[in-house]
Structure 1
Amino acid sequence: MNPLSTYIKESPFLKEIGEIALFTKRFFKEIAKPKQEYAEFLNQCFWIGYKSLILVGVTGFIMGLVLTIQSRPTLVEFGAESMLPSMVSVSLIREIAPVITALICAGKIGSGIGAELGSMRVTEQIDAMEVSGTNPFKYLVVTRVMAATLMLPVLSSLANAISLYGGYLGANIRGNVSWNLYWFQVFNVLNYGDVLPSLIKTFFFGFAIGIIGCYKGYYSQKGTEGVGRSATTAVIVASLLVFIIDLIAVQITDLLGLT
């Protein structure tokens, strides 16, 4: 037997990558089939999107406020205090707000999906759905992955707006920047090369969080320990994928000259 094939079969890491790839392949096959579960999809959009608004909003506000307060002394030292709104807006929109929002959702949504589907697997509810003729993959997995993919860009856009408002308050704690001047400097420095790549990569963040959470929960091991492990590993793997996707997105935008 080929040593490489033997290594791949015996490596848990590579084996899991292959299983996730097959799980993702099955997702695209199921989504192409007719009779979508629109009611469950809207229900998941509510739980994934609406129920995360407060957490994302508070986090976004604190991000903008803290970044502005901590950046101001350095800019004052170099006599560039007037560049504070521009610097904060580019930092938040390009990188900080989307990534932090994705990590929050990886912790909240990824663990929630993993624990929910893991509990259904342990209590044999998924097996019961298969016996009754229902397609549990389409009902449980497709709806959650699609909801996460759609809702994370919405949550990220909300975090962008609230974090910029937090930046405005931070700029006025020790300074005096008018409302009109602040937003003029914010939008004057931003362009489509800053906003579009940031928005596009959040779709991939949401898809990665949804697919990992569903995979870990759908194939959870028996017992309550397996449910807990599914929720924990879903957060870890989803967070790691967020950083990997972000790294790839940065490289692509740099090659396209959008940075």
Structure 2
Amino acid sequence: MTDPRPTGRPTRPVLVPVEYVGGRAISLADHIGSLTLLFIEAAGWLLRGVAGKRNRIGYQAIVSQIVRVGVRSIGIVSVVSGAVGFILAFQLAPPLEEFGRKDLVANIIAVAVLRELGPLIGAIVLTGFAGASIAAEIGTMVVSEEVEALEAHALNPVRFLVVPRVAAAMVSMTALAVISDVVAVLAALVVGVTVLDIPYSTFVSNMLDQAKLVDFLTGIGKATLFGTLIGVIACGNGLRVSGGAAGVGKATTGTVVQCVVAIIIADLIFTAIFYALKLV
């Protein structure tokens, strides 16, 4: 007698979205977990290299990466930051002029640039300029079996490939944030003095009165965090490449998207914490 019950698993269309969301959530958790472990391992190698002589890190490799991903980004960051400074000054002046306080342009720009825009501009530029490049470079090494060759010679890929790039991203991002702050504020100063007829002494005085050390340190802290995220995500995606050239392209694109999302979320969390601590 034939069993009337279906032999396969019944299809339930209502569960398809649930399965999709669940699968994506599990994949995301796995990816975040692997990046966290990569960061912990890289941080361990970095600390051991700084503290001891047996596990030295390649300082020359770090400097080389700083030149490659940081120094070459200065021009782009300066152009973008200068444009943002011009735009902010022009956009803020009309509504403030209605209240007879056009000089407050300096106050607003000082805080906005130091806390938010300086680090964000540098991070977005570094993501497109360096993050994608790091992911593509390490991904190509994986595809061409260079990483496997390192492991065959008992050389840890995290120590020799990841640590220099993450350290370089951290240092470069911090420096780029400072450069971005300076250029954006100077651009706003030029507009304020030459176009908006705000006296130079008034602009500088308002800016210094409004901007506090905590504003600058907040931006620097964000920049260091953003640089770490960019370096870890780029290296992690590069090491997970599979499928040849197509896999390298996918990792490169994914790195840019993931870095931008991670930076925005980290910025939100950072700002919320500082608001809760009454530091904003």
Provide TM-score, normalisation by structure 1.
0.92
1:124-148 CA deviation, whole Å, 9 max, x = no partner?
A: 1111222233332211100100111
Q: How has the CA–CA distance of structure 1 residues 99 and 9 changed in structure 2, closer, same or farther, with 3 Å as cutoff? A: closer
> How far 1:31 sits from its partner (Å)?
2.4
* AA aligned opposite 1:244: I
Structure 1 CA distance for aligned equivalents of residues 24 and 175 of structure 2? 40
Given candidates 225, 232, 238, the residue that maps to 2:253 is 232
Bigger drift between 29-38 and 228-237 goes to 29-38
> How far 1:227 sits from its partner (Å)?
0.5
Is residue 2:271 matched to residue 1:250?
yes
Instruction: Name the residue aligned to 1:16.
Output: 31
> How far 1:179 sits from its partner (Å)?
3.1
RMSD: 1.7
Structure 1 CA distance for aligned equivalents of residues 248 and 191 of structure 2? 42
Is the 2:121–2:180 contact (alpha carbons within 8 Å) kept by the matching residues of 1?
no
1:68-124 CA deviation, whole Å, 9 max, x = no partner?
A: 111111111222212111111111111112112211211211111111111111111
1:165-216 CA deviation, whole Å, 9 max, x = no partner?
A: 1101222353223333322221121112211111111111100000000000
Instruction: Name the residue aligned to 1:53.
Output: 74
Is the 1:8–1:15 contact (alpha carbons within 8 Å) kept by the matching residues of 2?
no
Quote the sequence identity (%). 26
Instruction: Name the residue aligned to 2:216.
Output: 195
Structure 2 CA distance for aligned equivalents of residues 222 and 141 of structure 1? 21
Instruction: Name the residue aligned to 1:73.
Output: 94
Q: How has the CA–CA distance of structure 1 residues 71 and 224 changed in structure 2, closer, same or farther, with 3 Å as cutoff? A: same
Is residue 2:195 matched to residue 1:174?
yes
Task: Compare CA radii of gyration and give the structure with the larger one.
Answer: 2
Instruction: Name the residue aligned to 1:213.
Output: 234
Q: How has the CA–CA distance of structure 1 residues 231 and 61 changed in structure 2, closer, same or farther, with 3 Å as cutoff? A: same
1:30-89 CA deviation, whole Å, 9 max, x = no partner?
A: 224421111101111111211111011111111101111111111112222121111111
Q: How has the CA–CA distance of structure 1 residues 165 and 113 changed in structure 2, closer, same or farther, with 3 Å as cutoff? A: same
Provide TM-score, normalisation by structure 2.
0.85
Once the two structures are superposed, the pairs formed by residues 20-39 of structure 1 within 5 Å of their partners are: 20-33=35-48, 34-39=55-60
Is the 2:128–2:256 contact (alpha carbons within 8 Å) kept by the matching residues of 1?
yes
* AA aligned opposite 1:82: D
Structure 2 CA distance for aligned equivalents of residues 189 and 200 of structure 1? 19
* AA aligned opposite 2:89: T
Is the 2:133–2:252 contact (alpha carbons within 8 Å) kept by the matching residues of 1?
yes
Q: Which runs of 5+ in 2 are unaligned?
A: 1-21, 49-54
Task: Name the count of aligned residue pairs.
Answer: 253
Is the 1:9–1:15 contact (alpha carbons within 8 Å) kept by the matching residues of 2?
no
Q: How has the CA–CA distance of structure 1 residues 48 and 176 changed in structure 2, closer, same or farther, with 3 Å as cutoff? A: same
